[in-house]
Amino acid sequence: MSESFRNIWTVTKRELSGLFASPVAYVFLVIFLLLLGFLTFSLGGFFERGQASLSESFFYWHPWVYLLLVPAVGMRLWAEERRQNTLELLLTMPIAPWHAIVGKFLASWLFLVLALVLTFPIVITVGRLGSPDYGSIISGYIGSALLAGSFLAVTELTSAMTRNQIISLIMALVVCFGLILCGFEPVTNLIQDTLGDTFVSLLRSLSTWYHFDAFKRGVVDFRDLLYFGSVTGFCLFTTSVVLRGVRGA
């Protein structure tokens, strides 16, 4: 088991060093922080609410920000390997394919978690302006990290399916957008009268929006943890199946 962890960590370090070797990572961090700050204090109506709460002004925007930025981070994971014809070399190294899959995922996920952690000035600002519920803030951060991980896993899967990064980006956008919409309240209210409560409940159970909503309200439920873990695990497993097919082709 220690050998597996060593291999995964080797791939993770390789990907992280490659990520920070280019200015793309720093540009992403700046855009991410500025965008969330603007959405929270301007469009989010933080000051108009008159409450020291981040659930509807800060965390509300995370699914939409991740929808735009996470596929941009993950689209290169395997598409770049296929474009440069280094996929075969990587998969024939003395490591299991799943080591490379998990290592690449962890590297990008750690980068996204770092970007999330760097939003701490917003929490400090809210703490100075009032008395927020730090329990719900911590819960929101946990849910946000899991949400980013699930979108990243989807993007890693689409990246494994093509050598074109733009195609990978578009496919990931479509899938992640669908996962948001099927639990987005305006959408579910629109179809509830037509398809009934049972169908709407099924859609919500598949939605990242619905499960993340519980976290931003301060509720950490095992079912929501299981959902994000299942989406991430399924996408990583399917990535291994796709890469096995590419390797055998």
The string of pLDDT tens digits covering residues 128-180 is: 887 888 888 999 999 999 999 999 999 999 998 888 889 999 999 999 999 99
CA–CA gap between residue 143 and residue 146 (Å, rounded)? 5
Structure tokens, 27: 């540009």
CA–CA gap between residue 64 and residue 40 (Å, rounded)? 13
State which residues of the chain have pLDDT below 70: 1, 44-52, 86-92, 193, 195-197, 246-249
CA–CA gap between residue 222 and residue 228 (Å, rounded)? 10
Q: For residue 50, what pLDDT is reported?
A: 64
CA–CA gap between residue 200 and residue 220 (Å, rounded)? 22
The DSSP annotation for 22-44 comes to STHHHHHHHHHHHHHHHIIIIIT
Q: For residue 131, what pLDDT is reported?
A: 80
Q: For residue 88, what pLDDT is reported?
A: 65
Can you tell me whether residue 54 is helix, strand or coil?
A: coil
pTM for this entry:
0.90
Structure tokens, 224: 């929501």
Q: For residue 91, what pLDDT is reported?
A: 66
CA–CA gap between residue 213 and residue 154 (Å, rounded)? 20
Q: For residue 141, what pLDDT is reported?
A: 95
Give, for 60, the enclosing helix (H) or strand (E). none
Full residue range of the structural domain in which residue 237 is found: 2-248
Instruction: Count the domains in the chain.
Output: 1
Is 81 in contact with 159 (CB distance < 8 Å)?
no
CA–CA gap between residue 215 and residue 221 (Å, rounded)? 8
Q: For residue 149, what pLDDT is reported?
A: 96
CA–CA gap between residue 195 and residue 193 (Å, rounded)? 6
For 49, 145, 151, the CA distances from 70, given in Å and listed in that order, are: 29, 11, 7
